A and B are shown apart, each in its own frame.
Chain A
Amino acid sequence: MHGPITEAIQFIDLNTYSIVFLFIVGFIGGLVSGFIGSGGAFVLTPGMMSLGVPGTVAVASNMCHKFPKALVGAIKRYKYGQVDLKLGLIMGVFAEIGVQVGIGVQRRILEAWGQAGSNLYVSFIFVVVLVLVGGFVLRDAIKMKSSENEGKLGGGQETLAKRLQRIELWPMVTLKTAKVRISVWFLVPVALATGMLAATIAVGGFIGVPGLMYVIGATSIVASATELVIAFVMGLGGTLIWAYYGSVDIRLTLLILAGSLFGVQLGAIGTTYVKDYMIKYVMATIMLIVAVSRFFAIPRYTNELQLTSFSAEQVGVMTQVSFYVMCFALLVGATIILVSLFKARSLEQAQLAVARG
């Protein structure tokens, strides 16, 4: 059954440039994933495609590197006591269902409106979700920073999580690390939405982490760490499907993994140095910049659907701008993480030196 698809797949020849490129992008993506739990891999698919890798192989190889990266990050952060395994596994199972639902929705849109319609739908979802959720997270991070009250979530969000926790609806589940007791019925929608978003824009964590923070009531450290477990479960399922059709280029996967495991370890270490709101800051910053990037991708699809009439040159420029802005988002996120990590680390070492006399 996999024959015809395999025959259609073209694997690229690797050169020094592509190897270095994949290693570096892998490292930066891993750093961001280790820190905010997700969102480090979205540059890789278009990045690989720019090297000439076919879309299917790029998606499959990216997916195949994401779940071991998530596994390594989750183990590291589990050692730090940040992962709620029970929450991650429950959410992971339902998120996997969400992925299947998301794929179904995508297929229907593809059938109804064709490839351009599907792409427009993805970009539209990208922009709407990222602007709304990113804006919300940013507002909360600013509020938290100004009040310097890292232990508590701000205003309305806290009320929503607390209100949901008060509702005793069977089956209730006690999550020790997240310090939450909540009905499974409230976990399911968050998990489904995470899976659906993952199937649509390949970064479920942009819904998963805020969902865990504001709906379930976990802290951003626990939420971002637990998201890695969800990403592992979803990634493993997705990889098996892609690998079943023979689409995974293991060489690309290993090259990305070589860099990303360095990054994910460093990102996880970074979470132990920064304050709670810093994770929200990084997440919101990346989400909002990526939203701008996707905004520039929209005219190409609206043109194809004959809703707008930009010139081919303009569309080409905007597509390029879209890709570079996406890279910029990842770079900004990585820079914030590295600067915060090393600043906090040198401060701590100075304090220790003073304490030791």
Chain B
Amino acid sequence: MNDNHEHIPGRQRDAVPPSATAGPTRRSQILVVSRNGHMGPGVVEHALRVAERLGSSILALHVNTLPYLPDGGRRTSLFKKAMAESAASFDTLARTRDIPVRVEYAAGQAGEAVRRLCHRHGPIDFVLVDQGLTVDKIAPYCPVPVFTVTTSAAQSSRPFGATSSDSLFPRGAKTMSTVSKSRHVRNCFVFGTMTAAIYAAVFTYQDTIMQYFSKGGAYCLLPVAMVFAVSYAHGNFTSSFWSALGIERSQADQRPATSAVKESTVVPAPRKDVRPRAQASM
């Protein structure tokens, strides 16, 4: 399989990232590898913390492991789009801590991509592996130590797709993006119309409805079904309504990943012993 590397649009390979211009000179790098378009929040937070402590810069590598999927390039285009979103969020977070971040795209086998990057971009101190990739796929190809970040059970049990909506932020934080805001407005309109239709129907035909709904007996299911329908339509409408107004859960609260990373343990990957062995032929 052919491997190819490219930088995300708007970033040059040798260009100094904007955030790199400030702060102390950083020589070492931490490589963060993901096979997802959106990098996991646990590994991002951990990488930022370690980079801050060590004074390192971060090299984030997104590996598209299925570049030749026969879907007319749809997956690759979605992958790159998600990667651009993830890179922007990563950069925002890194800027607040004055850590240079460079994001790269690679297609092909993850281990091979890491090996080439390590040779090209040295010195790399160590590699952090995002969820979705196993360390034993990276470690045999990698000249530097490979670590995986184990987050809390709740977080790790979440499904991570290649272009999963579980991005740099956990669920809900995506709503901060303008794309999501427009989605809230759209949902608000759709569910608002649905709710209005239900209410209009009930109050227009209230006499007939009251006649059946208060009959009792097996008809007791009618009011129950009705309130379930209203909970669905109006519940979604009210939720989108507050979100569209920008009233959402606290951002401090929506970072369970942060607290999870606190408890996280960095597990060194077992390395394959590839040293040549002395052999004797008798």
Interface on A for B, CB 8 Å cutoff?
Answer: 1-3, 5-6, 9, 11, 64-65, 67-69, 71-72, 75-76, 79-81, 176, 236, 239-240, 243-251, 253-254, 257-258, 261-262, 264-266, 269, 272-273, 344-345, 348, 352, 355-357
Contacts and interface: CB of A to CB of B under 8 A. Distances in A.
A251 B231 contact: no
B199 A246 contact: no
5 nearest A-B pairs in the assembled complex, by CB-CB distance: A2-B216, A246-B216, A243-B220, A272-B253, A68-B231
A254 B199 contact: yes
Contacts of B66: none
Given A68-B231, A269-B242, A247 B214 contact: yes
Contacts of A76: 239
Contacts of A240: 220, 224
B227 interface: yes
A9 to B, nearest CB: 7
Given A79-B171, A243-B213, A262-B238, 19 more contacts: A2-B215, A2-B217, A11-B210, A67-B227, A71-B231, A240-B220, A243-B221, A246-B220, A251-B202, A254-B230, A257-B234, A262-B241, A265-B235, A265-B241, A272-B253, A273-B250, A348-B250, A355-B96, A356-B92
Contacts of A243: 213, 216, 219-224
B117 to A, nearest CB: 30
B254 interface: yes
Contacts of A352: 251
A251 B206 CA distance: 8
B249 A269 contact: yes
A7 to B, nearest CB: 10
A345 B247 contact: yes
A247 B230 CA distance: 19
B223 A257 contact: no
A11 B202 contact: no
Nearest to B220: A243
11 contacts: A2-B215, A64-B227, A69-B231, A75-B235, A236-B224, A239-B223, A243-B223, A253-B227, A257-B227, A261-B234, A352-B251
A80 B214 contact: no
> Main secondary structure on chain A at its contact with chain B?
helix
A3 B253 CA distance: 52
Nearest to A61: B223
Contacts of B250: 272-273, 344-345, 348
B214 A6 contact: yes
Nearest to A82: B253
Contacts of B213: 243, 246, 248, 250
> Main secondary structure on chain B at its contact with chain A?
helix
Nearest to A9: B214
Contacts of A355: 96
Contacts of A265: 235, 238-239, 241-242
Given A64-B223, A71-B231, A272-B249, A249 B210 contact: yes
Nearest to A3: B216
B278 interface: no
B154 interface: yes
B228 interface: yes
Interface string B235-259: 1011101100001111111101000
A300 to B, nearest CB: 30
A248 B212 CA distance: 11
A355 B235 CA distance: 34
A271 to B, nearest CB: 8
A2 B254 CA distance: 49
Interface string B148-163: 0000011000000000
B266 interface: no
B209 interface: yes
A246 B203 CA distance: 18
Nearest to B252: A348
A355 B215 CA distance: 61
B99 to A, nearest CB: 14
B88 interface: no
B253 A273 contact: yes
Interface string B137-170: 0000000000000000110000000000000000
